């Protein structure tokens, strides 16, 4: 797998990947999420390719205090081959280079397999409560 920054011509393939991995929800428009990401810290938006086909993605972020990971996805046909771990390792190295001391991420509590995946990479469950407030109601 080759890892590189997202390019605009990846948009259709990335959105399809997110749909296949069950990452899209009615209240988040994936095209709008991509547009917003490209406006802020686009160097942390990564794709993994095999034979020029997008098979993985990760949307990282860093605001100077904590790193974040969203939309980590690996094509279901090639899951369990280490691609997700390699993508996370690459993103972690980019965040470390920026001085990021810790990565946070959110996983739905019902998604046990993904929680186990992150735990296998050294991530642990923090004793925190995730809160959110929708600022733009039309999503």
- In the chain, beta strands by DSSP E: 2-5, 45-50, 53-62, 67-74, 103-105
User: Looking at the domain assignment, is residue 128 inside a domain?
Assistant: no
More confident of the two residues 25 and 5: 5
Q: Rounded to two decimals, what is the model's pTM?
A: 0.91
pLDDT digits (tens, 9 = 90+) for 26-41: 888 999 999 999 999 8
Residues 91-118: what's their mean pLDDT?
93
- The answer to whether residue 113 sits within a structural domain is yes
* Arithmetic mean of pLDDT, 120-139: 86
Concatenate the DSSP letters of all residues of 61-98 into one string: EE-SS-EEEEEEEE-GGGTTSSHHHHHHHHHHHHHHHT
What pLDDT sits at residue 16?
A: 98
**Number of domains into which the chain is organized:** 1
Give pLDDT, residue 131: 87
Structure tokens at 39: 């406006």
Is residue 136 one of the residues assigned to a domain?
no
In a domain, 96, yes or no: yes
CATH number assigned to the domain comprising residue 17: 3.40.630.30
* pLDDT above 90 coverage of the chain, percent: 81
The whole-number pLDDT of residue 139 equals 54
Q: Is the pLDDT of residue 138 over 80?
A: no
Question: Is the residue at 79 inside a domain?
Answer: yes
Beta bridge partners of 26: none
Please give the pLDDT value at position 96: 97
130 in any annotated domain: no
Residue 134 within any structural domain of the chain: no
pLDDT given at position 58: 98
The per-residue pLDDT for 110 is 86
Residues of the domain holding 112: 2-120
Domain assignment of residue 7, yes or no: yes
């Amino acid at each position: 797998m080759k890892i590189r920054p997202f390019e605009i011509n990846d948009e259709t393939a990335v959105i399809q990947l997110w749909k296949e991995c069950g990452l899209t929800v009615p209240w988040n428009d994936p095209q709008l999420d991509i547009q917003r990401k490209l406006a802020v810290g686009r160097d942390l938006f990564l794709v993994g390719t095999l034979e020029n086909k997008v098979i993985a993605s990760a949307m990282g972020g860093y605001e100077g205090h904590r790193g974040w990971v969203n939309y980590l996805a690996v094509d279901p046909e090639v899951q369990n081959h280490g691609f997700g771990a390699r993508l996370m390792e690459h993103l972690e190295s980019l965040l470390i280079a920026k001085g990021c001391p810790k990565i946070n991420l959110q996983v739905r509590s019902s998604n046990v397999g993904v929680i186990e995946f992150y735990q296998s990479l050294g991530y642990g469950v923090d004793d925190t409560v995730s809160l959110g407030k929708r600022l733009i109601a039309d999503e």
